[in-house]
Structure 1
Amino acid sequence: MTAHALAAEAAAVLADRTGIAHHDIALVLGSGWGGAAELIGEEVASVSAAEIPGFDAHVVPGHSPLLRSLRLADGRHVLVLGARQHYYQVRDAAKVAHAVRMAAAAGCTQLVLTNGCGSTRPEVGAGSVVLISDHINFTGVTPLEGATFVDLVDLYSSRLRSLAREVDPTLPEGVYIQFTGPQYETPAEVQMAAGWGAHLVGMSTALEAIAARAEGMEILGLSLVTNLGAGIGGEHLNHQEVLDAGREAGPRISRLLADVVGKM
């Protein structure tokens, strides 16, 4: 079965399980962002990702295994993709892209990608939210196959970034680089990334964004800085630090994200 056929099958099962035939906005909640769903709209249905074709990865601490359907005040539906499949889990770019392809097949035309990440800028430390303006795909793979030549200029929509700044004019922008993980980057790798112009260092987002652009979706990227990159802050890195930073920032960033989605 092709990736797009699997996405269409998953969308059909999703519609059956949730009773919602069409979704408008898709939302991927990364580390620290999980609480936003409670503020965005009324939950009308939820389903375990294990019930949907194409989702088979284990769940990383800090992430949810659920797919949730929320109704906005204006009647539109938001599909919350809690079951993110990271490249370091599955080593398959098509599986990483499956959730956003399913969202596109379900009718979503806009996608919000969030993540927790490290920062290469000491002045943009833990707790900062940064709008992704561009990315560097350092995974060495792509979710696209064959002669699929996709334009990635303005991949992270300038229109949606402007809309986010209407909610919070102080939001900085930055370039995100995706490493494969699961190991954290070395100080030398962070220094290299900074030299290439990367401000945000993480293990997700870029492959999903590429797949979403190929599906014609408009994309907004938001990063929560959970730590300074290796060698920037001088501290050792661990996943508990990521979870703790996300928990502390949770209420503030959840309100921000809910307000941004409400304007989309």
Structure 2
Amino acid sequence: MDQTMIKDAAAYINDKLTSAPGIGLILGSGLGVLADEIENPVSFAYKDIPHFPESTVSGHKGQLVIGELEGKQVIAMQGRFHYYEGYSMQQVTFPVRVMKEMGIDSIIVTNAAGGINQSYSPGDLMLITDHINNMGDNPLLGPNDASLGERFPDMSQVYDKAYLQHAKDHAAALGLNVQEGVYVGNSGPTYETPAEINMLRTLGGDAVGMSTVPEVIVSGHAGLRVLGISCISNMAAGILDQSLTHDEVIETTAQVREDFLRFVKEIIRTLPNS
């Protein structure tokens, strides 16, 4: 990844800000409503930021929103980029590099995912404890820039255990019953076949989607503390006798919107300053 491009994008954004964000948010399909809660927002359309890709998927608004949320300075991606859109892994994860350059030290990554674990139900929120990279690619392939991170980063605790416990504690305080599990990242854009879901369950997957893993890998490489949250928007192929659609994903995330907003806002409000 070209450091000049990272610095160009960060400088463009910083030039219009009066305070630096400390927490990054990546908001998945149907979950961008959280960015609407940010106070005194400064917004940037992706197309206006130097070197940024553009989001092409329904349910992804396609802008950065920066401001105050629950007393913390945050920078939110209201919509993300996906490998299946034709972007390289480096383009997909470019915003994480930019947010790191701007000074964030923590990132909350959210997504809509299909439930593999048969004890889950559509509308459940799942804290990500680990992931399986089933995308057939990795954003760290190629020459390594040691100033961005080490050549062989450890992924064994990339999902911060203290943040995970913090989220569990505050879910209980809010009366929310949240799941915990392993997220599988597939390339998409097709939904999985029933046979593929059986395979992923055998491998230890609890939920499956088409994002998150690249951004988390780069976050780990960059030394950011990570919390991951999936909204189980549907049960994966073969579990229920029904077809899968993106409209269903958006509809389910809308139904759990209030719980999602309460949960993430409470996590941010109570998160200790690093």
Q: Would the TM-score normalized by the shorter structure come out above 0.5?
A: yes
Matched, 1:174 2:181: yes
Secondary structure, in 3 states, of the residue corresponding to 1:213? helix
How far apart are the structure 1 equivalents of 2:262 and 2:40? 16
Post-superposition, which runs of at least 4 consecutive aligned residues in structure 1 deviate over 2 A? 2-5, 56-59
1:12 counterpart residue number: 11
For the 8 Å contact 1:126–1:245, the answer to whether it is kept is yes
Selected match of 2:159 from 150, 156, 159: 156
1:257 counterpart residue number: 264
For the 8 Å contact 2:32–2:79, the answer to whether it is kept is no
How far apart are the structure 2 equivalents of 1:100 and 1:20? 20
What is the CA deviation profile of residues 185-240 of structure 1, one whole-angstrom value per residue up to 9, with x for unaligned ones?
Answer: 11111111110000010000001000011111000000000000001122110100
Counterpart mapping for 1:228-243 below 5 A = 228-243=235-250
How far apart are the structure 1 equivalents of 2:108 and 2:138? 20
For the 8 Å contact 1:161–1:220, the answer to whether it is kept is yes
Q: CA RMSD in A?
A: 1.5
For the 8 Å contact 2:54–2:62, the answer to whether it is kept is no
1:117 counterpart residue number: 113
User: Which AA in structure 1 matches 2:9?
Assistant: A
Compute the TM-score of the two structures, normalised by the length of structure 1.
0.94
For the 8 Å contact 1:21–1:106, the answer to whether it is kept is no
Selected match of 1:26 from 20, 24, 27: 24
For the 8 Å contact 2:117–2:205, the answer to whether it is kept is no
1:66 counterpart residue number: 63
1:81 counterpart residue number: 77
- Closer/same/farther in 2, CA of residues 31 and 83 from structure 1, 3 Å limit: closer
What is the CA deviation profile of residues 27-60 of structure 1, one whole-angstrom value per residue up to 9, with x for unaligned ones?
Answer: 0011232222234x41331111111122223431
How far apart are the structure 1 equivalents of 2:18 and 2:241? 49
What is the CA deviation profile of residues 47-92 of structure 1, one whole-angstrom value per residue up to 9, with x for unaligned ones?
Answer: 1111112222343111111101122454x41000124111101340
For the 8 Å contact 1:43–1:68, the answer to whether it is kept is no
For the 8 Å contact 1:138–1:179, the answer to whether it is kept is yes
Secondary structure, in 3 states, of the residue corresponding to 2:60? coil
Selected match of 1:53 from 28, 50, 69: 50
For the 8 Å contact 1:157–1:219, the answer to whether it is kept is yes
Gaps of 5+ in 2: 145-150
For the 8 Å contact 2:70–2:265, the answer to whether it is kept is no
1:212 counterpart residue number: 219
TM superposition shift of 1:142: 0.9
- Closer/same/farther in 2, CA of residues 159 and 6 from structure 1, 3 Å limit: same
State the percentage of identical aligned residues.
32
TM superposition shift of 1:21: 5.0
User: Which AA in structure 2 matches 1:44?
Assistant: P
Selected match of 1:137 from 130, 133, 139: 133
User: Which AA in structure 1 matches 2:107?
Assistant: L
Compute the TM-score of the two structures, normalised by the length of structure 2.
0.90
Secondary structure, in 3 states, of the residue corresponding to 2:158? coil
1:194 counterpart residue number: 201
How far apart are the structure 2 equivalents of 1:48 and 1:171? 33
User: Which AA in structure 1 matches 2:216?
Assistant: A
Selected match of 2:40 from 20, 40, 43: 43
